[in-house]
Amino acid sequence: MTLDDIYDLFDRIALVDDRIVRSNAADAAGQAEMWSVILHDVPLGFAAHAVVHHYQRSPYPLRPADIAEQWRLHIRDRLERHTESEPPIGDTGDHTYRAALLAERRAVASGELDPRPAPAPRALTTTSEIAPGRGRAIVAAIGGIPEPRDNGNPRAIHCPRCHAEPGRSCTTAGRRRSDPHPARREAAHRAASGLPPVSDEEAQAELQRRLDASRAALAALPPSTLAEPDDGFRPDRQEPAAS
């Protein structure tokens, strides 16, 4: 509000409360200047509404902080009801989108732009249209939205690791596990996908493949990166003879 707006606001306040405006002209001028500094970003129309709102609920004299607080809550409410625009297609993350987003927020806060509600949720499939913005690029990069994977129910099948019967939990060293063995989860997924269970030969071949890969990776490391086990024994260190 400008200084003229403050004098206009004082006239409105004086209609319901004569305790606010100073009677001395010099004091009133200084008071008006201070109010204009505190409420410089508050529109006169909102301030007039805040005066009515205050005296509907409180018998105490109005302060500029009361109007400023109502304005702050009003802005927060508008921004919370607003759905911000997505970055445009091809956005590279530079300052252009950020500047546009800040301008959009200011327009919503000041009332120049009405809050935009969130769009109604809808199911997305690999053939449905994706909303414009960075989300479209992400979905295109991964080749569409993947279909949900049916992992099956591990407890519904026999565990190939601990041989737990269907309906019973897996065990390790005789103690009940809170989760099934990975081999049982994989077997349940294969069953749900219509695939045959993994044979013992396939499991052994996969284990050997992982061992060979680990040995090859270990052999490729420089010797200086390998830490020797610290068991307290050093061949070059002589232990003191017992007396």
Mind listing the pLDDT tens digit for each residue in 72-117? 999 998 888 888 777 766 666 667 777 777 888 888 888 888 888 8
pLDDT of res. 144? 53
Q: Which residues contact 158 (CB under 8 A, 6 or more apart)?
A: 164, 165, 166
Q: What is the mean pLDDT of residues 223-228?
A: 58
Q: Is the pLDDT at 184 greater than 70, yes or no?
A: yes
Per DSSP, the three-state class of 170 is coil
- Contact present, 9 and 47 (Cβ < 8 Å): yes
pLDDT of res. 118? 72
Helices 44-57 and 64-80: angle between axes, nearest 10 degrees: 110
- Contact present, 182 and 203 (Cβ < 8 Å): no
Tokens of 117: 């509600």
Q: What is the mean pLDDT of residues 146-152?
A: 60
Q: What is the mean pLDDT of residues 155-159?
A: 87
Q: Is the pLDDT at 8 greater than 70, yes or no?
A: yes
Q: Is the pLDDT at 137 greater than 80, yes or no?
A: no
Element (H, E) at 69: helix 64-80
Tokens of 122: 């809808």
Amino acid at 90: G
pLDDT band of 243, cuts 50, 70, 90: very low
Q: How far apart are CA 219 and CA 214, in angstroms?
A: 9
Name the DSSP class of 166. Answer: T
CA-nearest of 211, 151, 206, 209 to 184 is 151
The whole-model pTM stands at 0.46
Q: What is the mean pLDDT of residues 175-200?
A: 82
Give the alpha-carbon dihedral of 149, 155, 161, 162, to 10 degrees. 160
Q: How far apart are CA 198 and CA 210, in angstroms?
A: 16
pLDDT of res. 240? 52
Q: How far apart are CA 214 and CA 183, in angstroms?
A: 20
Q: What is the mean pLDDT of residues 188-204?
A: 77
Q: How far apart are CA 62 and CA 16, in angstroms?
A: 10
pLDDT of res. 52? 94
Per DSSP, the three-state class of 48 is helix
Q: How far apart are CA 203 and CA 207, in angstroms?
A: 6
